[in-house]
Structure 1
Amino acid sequence: MRFLQITTKKYKKISDLTYTCESRVKYNEYVYRMLNKLLTDYKERFTYRMLKILLDTDLGADCDDAGALALLHRLADEKLCEILAVTHCTSEKSGAVAVKAINDWYNRGDISVGQYDVKAFMEGERYTRYTCEIMDKYLENHSVPKFENAVRVMRKALASNNDVVIVVIGMLNNIAELLKSEADDISPLNGVELVKKSVSSMYVMGGNFEDLSYEEYNIVQDIESAQCVSKNFPVPIVYSGFELGTNVLTGDNLEHQVEENPVRMAYSEWNKVVCGKEAFRRSSWDPITVYCAVIQDTPLFKKSAPKNITFDDEGKTLVTDGGKDCYLIAKKSNEEVQEVLNQLIY
């Protein structure tokens, strides 16, 4: 377990508590209480180190990005991770503003937010199904934020940290640009060298490992970047495939949150636009990816054997044995995964 390991007879691994709960009481009534107890005990007796997370998202086209960011903040609340930065990978500024609004909502307004600054990449109404509403609400009490280029934000985070886990829940264009970046005022290392020095692994929501002929959304939106990253990323990539999250429906707790909650707004507005009615459930591709990046030995999922994973010119997933990468495999039912994630998205 990367962030901590408790192997005494008194306690099980912390991540086991996110699934095992004999009384089946709500996660935030039982697991949070026990988690805090274990963390306090651990800090008194062991050397404690949190995971450092850099999140890259296309927040705007679908609402589960917002759910994943909420989940990441809840795990950070429990001192399981530190959020170094969040970068946005489309040209829609409302998406980056929505990221900033969510970070502020969870009392982490100091987190650096980076913006993909190439024009006309995934712009338009399809990619602002809820972000404009969040932005408008945010700007009622805030000035328009300015965002630095996403690659510079990532390079700054990596230059000043080691053992970083990158989590990608959108297209891979920002990561491809990071790999292509040259030495600069931030670091004398080029992108590949900087990643090799500072990143321990990268978790990517992408591909389909049950149906290799399926052209998964995050890949086909920028096949060239997906191919570049899959072939050139110098440290292990863990892929979270499309098949894992489709039938894991989360967001139920958001209905009971205040209307100003930007994550509630994301789920509500997305469902109104796409489904024609207000609802608070959505598939959980991105929350699963974030959860597994932080809780790396979760009993809910396991890793495949090492693989070579890349993508063909149509975006189909190519998998062969060997290599440094792998993909996640579900160990528990959709309902069991859903129960855990739902208690972290609010």
Structure 2
Amino acid sequence: MITKANNENYSQVKGLIIDTDLGNDIDDSLAMLVAYSLESAGECNILGVAVNKGNYYTALYADILNTFYGRSELEIGIARDGKTPNDGPFARAVAESKVDGEYKYPRSRTVFEMPAVDMYRKLLANAADDSVVIVSIGFLTNLAALLESGPDSYSELSGAELAAKKVSLLSVMAGNFSDVAKDECGNAGAEYNIRYDIPAAQTVCRHWPGETVFSGVEVGKQILYPARSIEDDFSWAEHHPVVDGYNLFKKMPYDRPTWDLTSVLYAVRPGDGYFDISRPGRVEVDDAGITHFKEKPHGTHKYLIVNPDKINDVKTLLVRLCSRNPETAQVCL
């Protein structure tokens, strides 16, 4: 197995920060599994997890997943004004589930106090230039706060300056870039991750200083994670926190869109051709939360486009990444 300890090239791979509303939908949980497997393959170095859902159990569930996959040391930052503060359908239930009076899933901590913006500033300040990739699979609350942050004990640079200097790619699951997707989203086309914090989305789209690639709602909707995998491919674990969450989220069996998984996959493997890519341009978010893309030759924004011929290949890969047994499976993925 390739690990941080024995991979000579590990320090050369991109650092990955995951910003998630973990607990609102099950695809965030599956996206975390994709990241763990790609890190185990030596393709990225997960630096930390920022949670943008304003609920304690989001952070606790993130820690449970990290701990389950041997990453209890990862930083976890919390949003200052996290949206959707409700418990959600499964994170609390999984965190509080017990067997014989003991918690089913270990956790490394129960107190989460570090603001996500501080975590970002700390991690970016300590990173080499152009060495970090951020994947946003939830609201853009934390990234807007980073852009608006000023110099502090971590760095004399502003948040925008840190992002420009340290971050090579921002991979975002947000927006909709097809007429069909806009019609299906409702609310005049406002996609979920945009709709609940429109000002933050506007700030990031207007002011993020580097390359940004969007995976719109239409992408993950065309590539469904199969219920069969949840039922059959995780038998290596007597109990699994994502399998439990998947079963709680909706009545089984159901296939779920791979929205957030696509952004993680692209963030780590941007050159592998799993998706087609739009021409460069700019994404604008209006006051109703609708995303508008305008082609511009020197624009820093692009969006993913599903290649119908590759849907099955991408789905197969995502299933392999998610269901991989970290103790016995081969790392070559």
TM-score tier by shorter-chain length is 0.7 to 0.9
C-alpha contact 1:253 1:345 (8 A) present in aligned 2? no
* Contact residue 58 and residue 89 of structure 1 kept, 8 A: yes
* 1:251-296 deviation line (CA, Å, top 9, x unaligned): 543323235211112211112xxxxx23363110000110011011
The amino acid of 1:68's aligned partner reads A
Counterpart position of 2:240? 261
Native 8 Å contact 1:305 1:326 kept in 2:
yes
Name 1:144's counterpart in structure 2.
Answer: 110
Match of 1:345 in 2: 322
> Secondary structure of 1:314's partner?
coil
Segments of 5+ residues of structure 1 without an aligned counterpart are: 1-31, 272-276
1:51-200 correspondence to structure 2 within 5 Å: 51-118=14-81, 121-125=83-87, 128-137=88-97, 140=103, 141-142=106-107, 144-162=110-128, 163-200=131-168
Find the aligned partners of 1:337 and 1:51 in 2 and give their Cα distance. 22
Q: Which SS does the other structure have where 1:84 is aligned?
A: strand
Secondary structure at the aligned position of 1:290 is classed as helix
Q: Following TM superposition, by how much is the alpha carbon of 1:246 offset from its aligned partner in structure 2, in angstroms? A: 0.7
Counterpart Cα distance in 2 of 1:222 and 1:259? 38
Choose the corresponding residue for 1:324, options 264, 285, 300.
300
CA distance 1:165–1:313, change in 2 (3 Å): same
Q: Which amino acid aligns with 2:110?
A: V
- 1:263 maps to a residue whose letter is V
* 1:312 maps to 2:286: yes
1:147 deviation in Å?
3.5
Contact 1:244/1:330 (<8 A) preserved: yes
Q: CA RMSD in A?
A: 2.2
Deviation per residue, 1:21-78 (Å, 9 max, x gap): xxxxxxxxxxx9xxx7xxx9xx89x998212111100011100000000110011010
1:216 pairs with 191, 199, 203, which one? 191
SS of aligned partner of 2:136: strand
* 1:29 match: none
After superposition, residues 249-288 of structure 1 pair within 5 angstroms as 249-250=224-225, 252-256=228-232, 257=234, 258-271=237-250, 277-279=251-253, 281-288=255-262
CA distance in 1, matches of 2:94, 2:265: 24
Q: Contact 2:10/2:45 (CA < 8 Å) preserved in 1? A: no
**Partner residue, 1:18:** none
The separation in 1 between residues aligned to 2:215 and 2:122, in whole angstroms, is 26
TM-score calculated relative to the size of structure 1: 0.81
Gap runs ≥5 in structure 2: 183-188, 324-333
User: TM-score normalized by structure 2?
Assistant: 0.84
- Whichever residue aligns with residue 292 of structure 1, its letter is Y
Q: Distance in 2 between matches of 1:118 and 1:133?
A: 23
Answer whether contact 1:255 1:280 (CA < 8 A) is retained.
Answer: no
- Which portions of structure 1, spanning 4 or more consecutive aligned residues, are displaced by more than 4 angstroms? none
Moved more, 175-184 or 308-317: 308-317
How far apart are the structure 1 equivalents of 2:53 and 2:36?
22
